[in-house]
Amino acid sequence: MGVPSVFLRTFGCNFKCQGFGMPRGELSQEANNIDPVNFKKYEDLPLVSTGCDSYASWDPRFKDLSPMLTSDAIANRIMEILPFNEWQDEHLVITGGEPLLGWQRAYPDLLNHPKMSGLKEITFETNGTQKLSPEFKDYLMQWQMPGVDFNREITFSVSAKLPCSGEKWEEAILPEVVCEYEQVGTAYLKFVIATEQDFADAECAIAAYRKAGFKGHVYLMPVGGVESVYTLNNRTVADLAMKNGLRYSDRLQVPLFKNEWGT
């Protein structure tokens, strides 16, 4: 939090998370009711307050609003965004959708690009369900080998989806997948909490990850893409984290930028 970061958002997700912000068992239709023919630009799409707030980055109906870019074009765009037009202290956060789908095949080409050579820290924001391909795992391992003269830090920020997301437990809580991430970098878990039931679910999930050997930190984060919802339960979730020896994750972007595209 507070680290200057460039976010690279890939298209596609294996989930829909239509349960967020809804009474348990109900699915949001907010994004489904948006008609793509009315919109020419990603930035013009309506923001939603229930379901996945990143719907435009995975719903196939909006795919044409996301450009298909070469590694060269992405690297050039990143240089334009960076304040000194080169990597300094900034992190690269690769997010989605779900960034560890087939995109794993494309990252080496981008990360080997000469303009990315100064990049030192990379975070994958993932839902923790996608195994690393053997090729991509080997690629990431190169920076962890003893004696390498250039060490890139790799972090997996795993937002595992509890039943409040509307996704099925057996498809969302896959401890062995997340344990594998710890072989190539640092991994932490982050659970979005709205109710006591969510916390009870998080406790069950944490027990399953620990049983599988997961060693990383665990964060609780209050639900709330918009400030009115967020401020309702952030103190309660912080108290829960403190009482249970867990970490608390704020949502700095909500008070800073409100609910806007690009945040």
Contact residues for ligand SF4, defined by CB under 6 A: 13, 15-17, 52, 54, 58, 96-98, 127, 161
Question: How far is the CA of 35 from the CAs of 11, 15, 38, 89, 121, in angstroms?
Answer: 19, 20, 6, 40, 38
Shortest reach from residue 233's CB to ligand SF4, in Å:
18
Task: Establish whether the linkage from the previous residue to 262 is cis, with ω within 30° of 0.
Answer: no
Considering the complex, state which of residue 96 and residue 216 has its C-beta at the smaller distance from ligand SF4.
96
| 12 close to 101: Cβ distance less than 8 angstroms | yes
CB of 230 to ligand SF4, least distance (A): 16
Which lies closer to ligand SF4 via its Cβ, residue 122 or residue 162? 162
CB of 9 or CB of 113, closer to ligand SF4: 9
> Quick one: 16 or 190, whose CB is closer to ligand SF4?
16
Q: Helix (H, G, I), strand (E, B), or coil: what is residue 25?
A: coil
Instruction: Give the shortest CB-157-to-ligand SF4 separation in angstroms.
Output: 11
Minimum gap (Å) between residue 187 Cβ and ligand SF4: 16
Residues 6+ apart with CB under 8 A from 232: 224
Instruction: For tokens 């909490």, name the residue.
Output: 193
